[in-house]
Amino acid sequence: MTNLTTLNEKYKKLHPMDRMTQLFKDFDAQKILVTSSFGVTSPMVLHLVQQAHPQHPIHFIDTAYHFDETLAYKERLAQLFGLHIVDVKPNEHKNNYSQKRELWRTNPDICCKINKVQPLQRIKGNYDIWVSGLMKSQSDHRKNLDIFQQKGNIIKFHPIIDMDEAEAFLYMQVYQIPSHPLAEQGYGSIGCRHCTKQGACRLGRWASLGKTECGLHL
């Protein structure tokens, strides 16, 4: 049984880059799942993974509702970092249903479940550790998270949880990583096009729907 308290104490003292390097020493790479939405601050974690374990698979949940700019950004980062991206798609029938019924308007929780949560659920069982780029500053739920966090049968690993967005942007500037094209247009956080508006941090996500998370990280 992995002792999360010991791991958190050990990793807290490390810089995010050293945390990622250490992760690939402490755990079997084949058991480490990396996901990315190719959003505003995603490149930092992608860059860290690429440094620590080049060509490690990056899973992208392709809901079919992403902005064209996000898909173009994904391709650009793939070329820049030499990423090995694996697209994870929802069940076709359910995805069509969500489109026909415009579920993002009528029941966004079910829409996220069909198009995001369930597709990831299908592959999660193959892994012990799940790497994601959550930061405490992003939401009330996230501010209580630690670097390692048990979530059901998988351990979440948040290497940049104690950074804020300004620090992530500074990192991107230092390493000359291009920003998401929509970030320059005032989008602070970017998900599916139906549920993303301009706004600081995550204010433009599911704006006016009373929803703050898609459910992947709850």
Nearest residue to ligand SF4, scored by beta-carbon proximity: 192
Amino acid, res. 36: S
Among 39, 43, 108, 204, contact with ligand SF4 (rule: CB under 6 A): 108
Q: Which of residues 75-104 bind ligand SF4 (CB under 6 A)?
A: 104
Closest to ligand SF4 by CB, 78 or 120:
120
214 binds ligand SF4 (CB under 6 A): yes
Q: Does 63 bind ligand SF4 (CB under 6 A)?
A: yes
Q: What angle do CA 127, 128, 132 make, to 5 degrees?
A: 85
- Has 111 been annotated as catalytic? no
Is residue 182 at the binding interface for ligand SF4, with CB under 6 A as the rule?
Answer: no
Tokens matching residue 113: 């479940």
Q: What is the rounded CA–CA span in Å between residue 32 and residue 124? A: 10
Taking the mean position of all CA atoms in its chain, how far away is CA 81? 17
Q: Which is nearer to ligand SF4, 41 or 115 (CB)?
A: 115
Q: Of the two residues 160 and 195, which places its CB atom closer to ligand SF4 in the complex?
A: 195
Alpha carbon distances (Å) from 70 to 4, 64, 65, 183? 34, 11, 10, 11
Nearest distance from residue 161's CB to ligand SF4, in Å? 22
**Which tokens sit at 90?**
């929802």
Task: Using CB under 6 A, count the residues that bind ligand SF4.
Answer: 13
For residue 6, give the amino acid letter. Answer: T
Which residue stretch of 80-88, 106-114, 140-148, 156-164 sits at the interface with ligand SF4 (rule: CB under 6 A)? 106-114
Q: Rule CB under 6 A: is residue 160 a binding residue for ligand SF4? A: no
**Residue among 23, 111, 147, 163 that touches ligand SF4 (CB under 6 A):** 111
Amino acid of residue 116: K
Whether the CB-CB separation of 147 and 122 falls below 8 Å is answered with no
> Looking at 115, 132, 149, 189, which residue binds ligand SF4 (CB under 6 A)?
115
Q: What ranges in the chain are assigned the alpha helix state H?
A: 4-12, 16-26, 42-52, 68-81, 92-100, 103-106, 108-112, 118-124, 165-174
Q: Counting contacts by CB under 6 A, is residue 194 touching ligand SF4?
A: yes
Q: Identify any residues that bridge with 187 across adjacent strands, giving them in sequence order.
A: 199
Q: Which of 23, 45, 190, 195 binds ligand SF4 (CB under 6 A)?
A: 195
Q: What residue has token string 């970092």? A: 81
Residues contributing to the site for ligand SF4 (CB under 6 A): 63, 65, 104, 108, 111-112, 115-116, 191-192, 194-195, 214
Q: Active-site residues: which are they?
A: 214
